[in-house]
Structure 1
Amino acid sequence: MFTAFLSIHPAFTIAPVSRRTFGSFVEHMGRCVYTGIFEPEHPTADADGFRQDVLALTRELGVSLVRYPGGNFVSGYRWEDGIGPVVDRPVRRDLAWRSLETNRVGIDEFMRWAGKAGVEVMYAVNLGTRGLPEALDVQEYLNQPDRTRLAELRAANGSPNPYGVTMFCLGNEMDGPWQTGHKTAHEYGRLAAETAQAMRDAEPDLELVVCGSSDSGMPTFAAWESEVLALTYDQVDYISAHAYYDPAKVDADSFLASAVDMDRFVDKVVATADSVGARLKHTKRINISFDEWNVWYQTDFGAARRAEDRTGWPIAPRVIEDRYNVTDAVVVGGLLISLLRHSDRVTVACQAQLVNVIAPIMTEPGGPAWRQTIFHPFAITSRLAKGEVLRVEIDAPTYETTRYGEASLVDAVATHDPEDGELVFFAVNRSRSESADLRVPLTGFAPGLRVAESWTLADDDPAAVNTADQPDRVVPRPTAQVSVTDGVLHAVLPPVSWTAIRLSV
């Protein structure tokens, strides 16, 4: 066992916890929508065809915001196909995932689902195969109260009241050559600026997200952000960031340190955005919408796509339905720590995706829904994190990784609610062989703090997964050794583990 010390103080804050940090993502891809959130034939389906077991798990997950309808899908999407009588809706090819889109679920259905789930919607407009007029049209359909053709059409389709969507993404991953309608930074920046300005002319208080790089490994990373922001700085509020971590591309020790890469990614995007702001002599600060992030076994997916029959056009095929293990859950917990640690600039984040497609929730058509291992750190972090994110200084042994260099064996973040005095720690132990003796002096906090609850996700088999037959094979359990003695928090963190500790008076 090794010892790790955390130093914190209630006066040393980073930023308030943003509820939008706990966002998710629903794309018309694979089985995320069809047999995911929507399955009219399912025993739990409500009158609108939505699986109530999935709705219940979505609420339990603590999702605050959902990005929709893509993703790569949005760059070929015609939003008008998904409104009006279902029998009149066309079936279209989706070039992004080479499947057929039936359009049984469109704007009106999804907005009803979002209302039932209690989530805010961040709507992505198509700037791949479409542009400014179509973006204005969908904005009008969503938000115009009355008296216009599209507002009246929405009312005729069963929704007389506007949906009031306040956050829009201006396209998706437009730097990627795989994207339908891929553009250069200048081409995209001009289109995004014009679209953003027109949308603001209609609704000045919108929050708009411009596309950043698809990941930090893109050859145009940072140069793309710089040129796009130079063209859009006045019109937008956020720049997007996307990152996926593939266990098959790195060794186990590097994979466990994935949050080190996320930290650096955020710092580089912030530096680039601030450089553009300084160059433009702007007082406004651009924040980050980290609207795609997760563990993703991309190597396996790439091999499967190369081997599959490219002549078929299936409907809602099984696509990237990764089964997550204990190590994946610990990494997801670590990525949430990174996002909270950057709450001063990352105020929106969306784990991709919600159901079936690299998702915390899995379903079987006509059958059960269950929680994957990665469900648990997200749900507990969403439930417990509140108040202010505190600065945490970590004094722990380090280890060398082949991909990310030196990393601390323990990573952690803390939140403090000054109203009720609650103090919450989220911590990971990246060691694959040793437990960590965590010690945190509580100087400066309310006297009498005691452990109110503490959960640890770990297992003797770090490759253990949850399945339909064993949905609770991996679950968080009460931390075996945790206490507050003489004003010091003590906790033992098992190898390859994620832990949440809530202290209250």
Structure 2
Amino acid sequence: MADKASMIVDKDFQIGEVDKRIYGSFIEHLGRAVYGGIYEADHPQADEQGFRSDVLELVKGLDVPIVRYPGGNFVSGYNWEDGVGPVDKRPRRLELAWRTIEPNWIGLNEFVDWCKKANTEAMMAVNLGTRGIDEARNLIEYSNHPSGSYWSDLRIQHGYKNPHNIKTWCLGNEMDGPWQIGHKTAVEYGRLASETAKVMRWTDPAIELVACGSSAIGMQTFPEWESTVLDLTYNEVDYISIHQYYGNRSNDPANFLAQSMSMDSFINTVISTADYVQAKKRGKKKINLSFDEWNVWYHSNESDRKLDPWQIAPPQLEDVYNHEDALVVGCMLISMLKRADRVKMACIAQLVNVIAPIMTENGGAAWKQTIYYPYMHTSLFGRGTVLVPLVKSPKYDSKDFTDVPYLEAVAVHNEEKEEVTVFAVNRKLDEALPFEIDLRSFGSCRIIEHIVLENDDLRATNTVDAQDRVKPHSGGNAAIDGNGKIEATLGKASWNVIRIKL
């Protein structure tokens, strides 16, 4: 008999409420995310604005609450004015972040229209690379001020009488990165972000603001960057951003599946740094985290290096995801849920074609990548209160990690629906894992379903010709035993969703 794993949860022992924006995503003017992704005017399924209705249906299936836009590295060289007004008068620009041509067929107003169709909200970023305070105050006036001023009246002239009322704004992007247009030191960025935040709030006091944190846990300036930036922006901002991607470049699945432990450490260090600044300021405000870029990203690196520059919407960062990638994405989602008290927003990067859960062919089909499923399951069933998971699990060591639990799991209590959902990954590559769940404080319950994503081939992918090679089934064996505990077998290398009716 294999070693057993177990989890005890109690309804009174809570981590925190899930902010639905933890299930956000990201659309950048990069590769085919916009052109050929959400927008393709001559596609057979394009609507009257050129948006792909097949893509919209797949996005709505994820119930995405917020989408970050327009970048990303792109925003640090972007003039937002290029993307408003008559399309035939918009300029074509050299886009230096990704070395393409930006035609500006889609801009702020069209993106807001798309958000309404996708049942989501926009999270806007302002350019603090080549621009700054003036651009940001003008953009928020154009976007959010009702009327009676130059920029708000220009929006009305462009056909948008009502303000967009965008609530959440990012103060630049990855300004700690030497690759960033307008890269700054922490002090340079912190001062600019603070002054920009000030005028944005004067224009619209209802907004929330996100300061740039570190671009990855491996940055040499981490976490001193967070300490300095928050010291300079604490009074003006609500969130600090956090970005991280993982890959299996060394073909070591056991080590790859353990990388979410690095994510746990990253999150906890940023929280500690934010709390240190709060204590130093004798402040009452908690700075929460916006994990507004995260995913697996490594498959496309080689092909991206071979792209010719100055094309419109070439295929960039088009990772084709496999089964093991879906397991890592599941573990990353569990990591964020385990700190739902402080991780209040997150954006899987990105939504369509570019390191994305949804893939398309220009002029052709749209389909779900393997990572679509854990993202969809948590978004649909992971709303409510995250409970403290008391987990016992056999462990293993890998190249970079020690004491890695084979079981990665968390439970979310949806009081309104009278449900508890358990999300669980079995990291064992060659063996099933018996799993016992003790819901001792909840009384009688029944299993709604036990969804499983599994595949004998860790490298199995979904493609246009085999769109369902990796997809979940509801054939899991979770059941209530005679003592009121839930017993289940988690298949080898599997993602599991056990839904329980109270």
TM above 0.5, yes or no, is: yes
Aligned to 1:440: 437
Per-residue CA shift, 1:258-281, capped at 9, x if unaligned?
211111000000011111111111
Does structure 1 conserve the Cα–Cα contact (< 8 Å) formed by 2:63 and 2:119?
no
Aligned to 2:361: 364
Aligned to 1:452: 448
Paired AA for residue 404 in structure 2: A
Per-residue CA shift, 1:281-303, capped at 9, x if unaligned?
111110000000000016x51x4
Aligned to 1:121: 122
Q: Which moved more, 1:400-409 or 1:28-37?
A: 400-409
Aligned to 1:171: 172
The alpha-carbon deviation at position 306 of structure 1 amounts to 4.1
Tell me the distance in 2 between the aligned counterparts of 1:53 and 1:420.
30
Does structure 1 conserve the Cα–Cα contact (< 8 Å) formed by 2:19 and 2:344?
yes
Q: Report matched runs for 1:410-425 at 5 Å.
A: 410-425=407-422
The alpha-carbon deviation at position 434 of structure 1 amounts to 1.2
Paired AA for residue 233 in structure 2: T
The alpha-carbon deviation at position 172 of structure 1 amounts to 0.1
Aligned to 1:17: 18
Does structure 2 conserve the Cα–Cα contact (< 8 Å) formed by 1:25 and 1:351?
yes
Which residue, out of 456, 463, 474, partners 2:459? 463
Per-residue CA shift, 1:190-236, capped at 9, x if unaligned?
00000001111122221100000100100000110010000000000
Tell me the distance in 2 between the aligned counterparts of 1:280 and 1:21.
28
Paired AA for residue 106 in structure 1: G
Tell me the distance in 1 between the aligned counterparts of 2:250 and 2:218.
13
Tell me the distance in 1 between the aligned counterparts of 2:185 and 2:251.
30
Per-residue CA shift, 1:9-60, capped at 9, x if unaligned?
1000011111001000000000000010000101111001000000000000
Aligned to 1:339: 336
Identity of aligned residues (%): 50
Q: How many residues align?
A: 500
When residues 167 and 446 of structure 1 are mapped into structure 2, their CA distance, relative to the original with a 3 A threshold, is: same
1:492 maps onto 2:493 in alignment: no
Tell me the distance in 1 between the aligned counterparts of 2:431 and 2:438.
22
Per-residue CA shift, 1:116-144, capped at 9, x if unaligned?
00111110000000000000111011101
TM-score (norm 1): 0.97
Aligned to 1:38: 39
Paired AA for residue 113 in structure 1: W
Paired AA for residue 283 in structure 1: K
Per-residue CA shift, 1:370-418, capped at 9, x if unaligned?
0000001111111111221000011010100212322100010001123
Tell me the distance in 2 between the aligned counterparts of 1:140 and 1:186.
27
Aligned to 1:375: 372
Aligned to 1:153: 154
Tell me the distance in 1 between the aligned counterparts of 2:50 and 2:84.
16
Aligned to 2:472: 476
Per-residue CA shift, 1:407-444, capped at 9, x if unaligned?
10001000112334211100000011111101012211
The alpha-carbon deviation at position 461 of structure 1 amounts to 1.0
Q: Which moved more, 1:365-374 or 1:1-10?
A: 1-10
Aligned to 2:181: 180
Paired AA for residue 337 in structure 2: L
Does structure 2 conserve the Cα–Cα contact (< 8 Å) formed by 1:361 and 1:370?
yes
Q: Report matched runs for 1:289-368 at 5 Å.
A: 289-297=290-298, 300-301=300-301, 303-309=302-308, 312-368=309-365
SS in 2 for 1:472: coil
Aligned to 2:257: 256
Q: Report matched runs for 1:231-242 at 5 Å.
A: 231-242=232-243
Does structure 2 conserve the Cα–Cα contact (< 8 Å) formed by 1:239 and 1:286?
yes
Tell me the distance in 1 between the aligned counterparts of 2:396 and 2:458.
19
Tell me the distance in 1 between the aligned counterparts of 2:231 and 2:463.
48
Q: CA RMSD in A?
A: 1.1
Paired AA for residue 179 in structure 2: W
Aligned to 2:213: 212
Does structure 1 conserve the Cα–Cα contact (< 8 Å) formed by 2:241 and 2:292?
yes
Paired AA for residue 472 in structure 2: P
Tell me the distance in 1 between the aligned counterparts of 2:306 and 2:89.
35
Does structure 2 conserve the Cα–Cα contact (< 8 Å) formed by 1:66 and 1:121?
yes
Aligned to 2:390: 393
Paired AA for residue 499 in structure 1: N
SS in 1 for 2:498: strand
Q: Report matched runs for 1:248-287 at 5 Å.
A: 248-249=249-250, 251-287=252-288
Paired AA for residue 457 in structure 1: L
Does structure 2 conserve the Cα–Cα contact (< 8 Å) formed by 1:122 and 1:166?
yes
Tell me the distance in 2 between the aligned counterparts of 1:203 and 1:442.
46
Tell me the distance in 1 between the aligned counterparts of 2:498 and 2:52.
33
**Where in structure 1 are there 5+ consecutive unaligned residues?**
none
1:60 maps onto 2:56 in alignment: no
Tell me the distance in 2 between the aligned counterparts of 1:49 and 1:356.
17
Does structure 2 conserve the Cα–Cα contact (< 8 Å) formed by 1:479 and 1:499?
no
Does structure 2 conserve the Cα–Cα contact (< 8 Å) formed by 1:93 and 1:99?
yes
**Where in structure 2 are there 5+ consecutive unaligned residues?**
none
Tell me the distance in 1 between the aligned counterparts of 2:99 and 2:500.
50
Paired AA for residue 244 in structure 2: A
When residues 250 and 217 of structure 1 are mapped into structure 2, their CA distance, relative to the original with a 3 A threshold, is: farther
Aligned to 2:225: 224
Tell me the distance in 2 between the aligned counterparts of 1:92 and 1:192.
26
Tell me the distance in 2 between the aligned counterparts of 1:22 and 1:225.
24
SS in 2 for 1:478: coil
Tell me the distance in 2 between the aligned counterparts of 1:55 and 1:419.
28
**Runs ≥4 residues deviating over 6 A:** none
Tell me the distance in 1 between the aligned counterparts of 2:269 and 2:144.
35
Does structure 2 conserve the Cα–Cα contact (< 8 Å) formed by 1:2 and 1:434?
no
The alpha-carbon deviation at position 308 of structure 1 amounts to 4.2
Paired AA for residue 152 in structure 1: D
Tell me the distance in 2 between the aligned counterparts of 1:431 and 1:149.
61
The alpha-carbon deviation at position 250 of structure 1 amounts to 6.5
SS in 1 for 2:403: strand
SS in 2 for 1:209: strand
Aligned to 1:106: 107
Paired AA for residue 15 in structure 1: G
SS in 2 for 1:242: strand
SS in 2 for 1:2: coil
Which residue, out of 427, 431, 435, partners 2:428? 431
Tell me the distance in 2 between the aligned counterparts of 1:328 and 1:360.
11
The alpha-carbon deviation at position 305 of structure 1 amounts to 4.4
The alpha-carbon deviation at position 149 of structure 1 amounts to 1.2
Tell me the distance in 2 between the aligned counterparts of 1:85 and 1:376.
39
SS in 2 for 1:284: coil
